[in-house]
């Protein structure tokens, strides 16, 4: 399978714990995006990378959220000191930069904070 993959697919954690999600993009794609989707809503853009550079992070929801893409391949999204309001689906997408850029999405990681 050469699509976008995410791990884990499901995560249950207790309030106050830290969690980290991983995204592996389509191999030749140089852009990688993170989104959050809450129940009954469309995905909400959080941040994105072009190669290893994080070009936009002002949309991250709070300073508890951070993302990395150290070698320009896979990326991680970390949430520190989780809160119940962080419960959501976290989606990753990748693309090849260009005028006709199209983002391809992974299956998501569903987070439940108890």
Partner 1 sequence: AQSVTQLDSHVSVSEGTPVLLRCNYSSSYSPSLFWYVQHPNKGLQLLLKYTSAATLVKGINGFEAEFKKSETSFHLTKPSAHMSDAAEYFCVVRGGGADGLTFGKGTHLIIQP
DSSP state of 112: E
Q: Which is closer to partner 1, CB of 12 or CB of 55?
A: 55
* # chain residues binding partner 1, by CB under 8 A: 28
Q: Given the complex with partner 1, which of 40 and 70 has the nearer CB atom?
A: 40
Residues with Cβ < 8 Å from 96, sequence gap 6 or more?
A: 28, 29, 30, 31
Contact 93, 32 (CB under 8 A): yes
- Within residues 69-98, the interface with partner 1 by CB under 8 A covers 91, 93
Beta bridge partners of 91: 35
Residues that bind partner 1 (CB under 8 A): 4, 31, 33, 35, 40-46, 48, 55-56, 58-59, 91, 93, 99-108
């Amino acid at each position: 399978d050469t699509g976008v993959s995410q791990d884990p697919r499901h995560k249950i954690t207790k309030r106050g714990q830290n969690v980290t999600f991983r995204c592996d993009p389509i191999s030749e794609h140089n852009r990688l995006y993170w989104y959050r989707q809450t129940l009954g809503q469309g995905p909400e853009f959080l941040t994105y990378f072009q190669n290893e550079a994080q070009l936009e992070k002002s949309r991250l929801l709070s300073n508890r959220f951070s993302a990395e893409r150290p070698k320009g391949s896979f990326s991680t999204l970390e949430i520190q000191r989780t809160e119940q309001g962080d419960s959501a689906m976290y989606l990753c997408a990748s693309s090849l930069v260009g005028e006709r850029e199209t983002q391809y999405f992974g299956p998501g990681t569903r987070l439940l904070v108890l």
